[in-house]
Structure 1
Amino acid sequence: MKNLINIVLFSGLIVSISACEDYLDLSPISEETSEVAYENASQIEAALTGAYESFQAEYYVWDNVLFQDVRADNHYAGGDNPEIFQIDWLEVSPTNSRLFTNWSNIYNAIAKANIVIEKAPLVTDPKLSEERRTQIIGEAHFLRAYHYYTLVNLWGGVPLVLNFTSSAAPEDTQLPRSTKEEVFEQILKDLAISIESLPDSYGSDASVNKARASFGAANALAAKASLQRPNPDPEAALDYINAVENSSASYQLIPYSQLFDGNNYNNAESILEAQYLGGNEGNFGPQLVLPPSISGDSWRKFITPSHDLVEAFDSENDSIRKNATILFETVNWVDEYWGNSPGSEVPFAYKWKSADGWASSNRPYLLRFGDIVLLKAEALARLNRLGQAATEVNRIRDRANLPDLSASVEANQENMLAAILKERRLELAQESERWNDLVRFGEVVNVMNNLDEIDLRTGEPTNYQMTQDKILLPIPQEELDRNPNLDQN
């Protein structure tokens, strides 16, 4: 790790964050100020590199799994951290430190994107071509859109910070919340700029093409936003998905086992992925979840796949995706759901395959084509084009050696949507999609309140007491204290 970058949060708080070494062969700007640091091509490229490195911050490494899979029905909390158990039990307090950490990290990421958007047009260095300048601006708009997509799904309407500022004046830092719809509109505005600005690829090097925002990535994220927004637009989603499919980047499904074996980075299904290299460029997440035989340690891991998830795989005889997602192993600790005594066999989250002492090279997908295929099925189903929707779902099922959807599913829109939601669960478990999916399908309250998860310590089912009020996370108390113009969820 090298270089400390000082970023000004919109709240006026100054924080120092450690920036990993660049995976695009550029070092982030360090000691220079935003007023003087962007005079030549290398400096603005370095600023963009710093913006990409936000994908190595806490939320995108690890907490996205907590707030998407653990908060939903895919995983239980493990370990001994009370704040993670709050997430699992749907009792998240505004003072939970993970809220403010993630809020701060993501707004820091937005601040870095804003710097690039503002400064790139001002660089006069002849080494910066107009084509590259346009790409840089498009990449920064994509990054800002991605981070606002994260924020709006976690907290709903949030303050829209669209300009970098070093001011501490209240009128610049104490912004009110925009509505959820306004945030989605801004996401799609940013992505429209990206779609017009970005190439399908940057050449023949996949390690660059999958590390950078591209035409395909911008359209993929726009498709997700079009369906996730309060007033979904499946027609628009299909247009964006068609652009992804027709991209010269030639995205395609690959064998499911190869997606997560650690040997096929930047593959044809990957649209965008965090470029962990191991060592000083390592991913600490795998150490938190992998079993003793792989991680080399003997303490209880921080997440455990749920009975309900395992049963979902088994009900479909889905051994291919189950074996890529879950590994069972006997442990020496007590697990309140899988065995209330040492020596029980417990499942482990297994889409990461190597821990390497907190410095794994395993990479999370930020966007992948399998997700987009199922989004296409969903958009078609919402338009009542059920036969076409079934065709897309069956592409995913064929890869898992599962039979095509039945005629009764294909004949009924409600059944089709339920089948797509289940397919997304089996396809994307541990990939930080589940909570968003349950919310988008209007099923989160029903699903969480009908889980049959037995706490072996008491023999009683866990009661999650899910309500509509728990769909969004509380605004961090520290941010409420800083900004009197914010109101709590």
Structure 2
Amino acid sequence: MKINKILLFFFVMSMMSSCDDYLDLQPISEETSGNAYETASQIEAALVGAYESFQSSEYYVWDNVLFQDVRSDNCYAGGDNPEIFQIDFIDIEPAHSRLFTHWSNIYNAIFKANLVLERVDGITDDRLTEERRSQIKGEAYFLRSYHYFTLVKLWGDVPLILNTITSTDSESVNIPRTDIAMVYEQITSDLELAATLLPDTYGNDASINKARATAGAAHALAAKAYAQQPSPNYQLVLDHIDAVERSDADYRLIEYSELFDGNNYNNAESIIEVQYLGGNEGNFGPQLLLPPSVSGDTWRKFATPSIDLINAFDSEGDVVRKNASILFESVQWVDEFWGNSQGTAVPFSYKWKNAGGFASADNTYLIRYGDIVLLKAEALNELDQLQNAVIEVNRIRDRAQLPDLTIAQRSSKEVLRTTILKERRLELFQEGQRWDDLARYNVLVSTMNSLIEIDLRNGNPVNYNMTDAKRLLPIPQQELDRNPALIQNPL
């Protein structure tokens, strides 16, 4: 089990309680079924394990970039991995190994959150106050909701499991898929409850407040879920964003370059982020993306920004966000989209700044306020409050040193919708958002099939053959083989 900055919170609590043995957080794997989850320290350790899934699940480390940015119009696969090329060309088969890996890892994370929820009320240790018990529940509800939100966006209908499974009987383990609307109902109801149980902050230490679920994080995720569900409820989106903006956490926009310079994590714009310390507690993702001058190696990197993305930045004159997000560098390998010859200048995904030899201390934003501001603009526009929507978009543009929206960019609800979608693309590149945004706006098929990308090896355009069925991933074949109650998505 990784012990990261989250444990600082527990150390502070233990010092306040003056209980020396409270610091002895033995891994739950070392406990027996008879004595586990009897003390405050044991349930806190179980909660740490639930948070740790953000570090141990490869999807949250960097595969979200593959399935969101590479699968969409933002990036090419890069590298030399056939399965990543399949993601790039939207040609993903049920036997694709990453599908089962992510399905399993995310459900494992849900199991850990369910375990905390089941056991926390049974703790009679006096050191676990009722206030802290409620917070633990809120954190576990948030974590479970976050993981189900990930699953439902990737696969649509998924099995909804709200308790730990201890039996091997077929009725217990062969769980059918739950309708997507019911999954979203569970996500949002859990988040509504979590928001009432969680504090705005846990004190003055930003490395704790940004590492843990807070009321602001629950409201922000609820806003995103209400927007992404099959029938969006934009009034509830606004209601939850209003709660985010009234939070005592005082979320606010900071300079864009400071968000991604590698030195200002746990900042005022961050709502929740994955904490990395480097070394044994390091982030391997940056090494896979950063150029040789930064990474210190010479092999071809993954998630190469596309020509279409670079053109989107340049057409807007968006120098600030482009320079913070992308770095061009001449390379000795051949890139089939950026020159097809050695020595070509190739763009690199650059929001992480420190490679660290697969052990970077660069954090990952799970939710930040800039995303929420643009979501607020989206909701206002969908509710026919166009002028208020423009104000929110201009806040983001002003931060990027861009002029206010022109009359042409905000001339109608439909035009402003397209403008906001582009703004989200430039603002949130490499943050695992693009595929979801295109799906929510119902433009996945049209965007991918109108994309013009030329393979310079043969001069032919890439045909992505995007269909509505490809909006969702196939259910992993291994899971279909294990669970006959599952039905495959259309292929």
Structure 1-normalised TM-score?
0.95
Aligned residue in 1 for 2:428: 428
Q: 1:88 to 1:196 in 2, by over 3 A?
A: same
Q: Alpha-carbon deviations, 1:86-145, whole Å to 9, x = none? A: 000000011110000000000000000000000000000010000000000110000000
Aligned residue in 2 for 1:37: 36
Alignment of 1:261 with 2:258, yes or no, is no
More helix as a share of residues: 2
Q: 1:34 to 1:450 in 2, by over 3 A?
A: farther
Counterparts of 1:398 and 1:445, CA distance in 2: 32
Quote how far apart the aligned CAs of 1:21 are: 2.2
Q: Equivalent residues in 2 for 1:246-325 (5 A)? A: 246-325=246-325
Q: For the Cα contact (< 8 Å) 2:210–2:266, is it kept in 1?
A: yes
Quote how far apart the aligned CAs of 1:33 are: 4.4
Aligned residue in 2 for 1:52: 51
Q: 5+ unaligned residues in a row in structure 1: which ranges?
A: 1-18
2:30 partner SS: coil
Counterparts of 2:32 and 2:450, CA distance in 1: 54
2:329 partner SS: strand
Q: Equivalent residues in 2 for 1:40-189 (5 A)? A: 40-56=39-55, 57-189=57-189
2:272 partner SS: strand
Q: 1:34 to 1:135 in 2, by over 3 A?
A: farther
Q: For the Cα contact (< 8 Å) 2:289–2:348, is it kept in 1?
A: yes
Task: Read off the aligned partner of 1:366 and give its amino acid letter.
Answer: L
Task: Read off the aligned partner of 2:391 and give its amino acid letter.
Answer: T
Counterparts of 1:179 and 1:119, CA distance in 2: 28
Task: Read off the aligned partner of 1:392 and give its amino acid letter.
Answer: E
Q: Equivalent residues in 2 for 1:197-216 (5 A)? A: 197-216=197-216
Q: Structure 1 stretches (4+) deviating beyond 4 angstroms?
A: none
Q: Equivalent residues in 2 for 1:193-232 (5 A)? A: 193-232=193-232
Alignment of 1:192 with 2:192, yes or no, is yes
Counterparts of 1:44 and 1:170, CA distance in 2: 30
2:317 partner SS: coil
Aligned residue in 2 for 1:392: 392
Q: Alpha-carbon deviations, 1:310-351, whole Å to 9, x = none? A: 000000000000000100000000000001111111000000
Say which is worse superposed, 163-172 or 103-112, in terms of deviation.
163-172
Q: 1:459 to 1:35 in 2, by over 3 A?
A: farther
Aligned residue in 2 for 1:12: none
Counterparts of 2:284 and 2:254, CA distance in 1: 26
Quote how far apart the aligned CAs of 1:411 are: 3.2
Q: For the Cα contact (< 8 Å) 1:74–1:305, is it kept in 2?
A: yes
Counterparts of 1:364 and 1:429, CA distance in 2: 13
Counterparts of 1:384 and 1:113, CA distance in 2: 39
Quote how far apart the aligned CAs of 1:408 are: 3.2
Structure 2-normalised TM-score?
0.95
Aligned residue in 2 for 1:9: none
Task: Read off the aligned partner of 2:46 and give its amino acid letter.
Answer: A
Counterparts of 1:302 and 1:407, CA distance in 2: 39
Q: Alpha-carbon deviations, 1:178-215, whole Å to 9, x = none? A: 01111100101110110110000000000000000000
Counterparts of 1:123 and 1:170, CA distance in 2: 31
Quote how far apart the aligned CAs of 1:31 are: 2.2
2:29 partner SS: coil
Aligned residue in 2 for 1:20: 2
Quote how far apart the aligned CAs of 1:256 are: 0.1
Quote how far apart the aligned CAs of 1:166 are: 2.2
CA RMSD of aligned residues (A): 0.9
Quote how far apart the aligned CAs of 1:407 are: 2.0
Say which is worse superposed, 28-37 or 218-227, in terms of deviation.
28-37
Counterparts of 1:176 and 1:156, CA distance in 2: 13
1:30 partner SS: helix
Aligned residue in 2 for 1:338: 338
Aligned residue in 2 for 1:14: none
Q: For the Cα contact (< 8 Å) 2:4–2:277, is it kept in 1?
A: no
Counterparts of 1:35 and 1:295, CA distance in 2: 48
Counterparts of 1:200 and 1:306, CA distance in 2: 39
Quote how far apart the aligned CAs of 1:20 are: 1.8
Counterparts of 1:221 and 1:446, CA distance in 2: 28
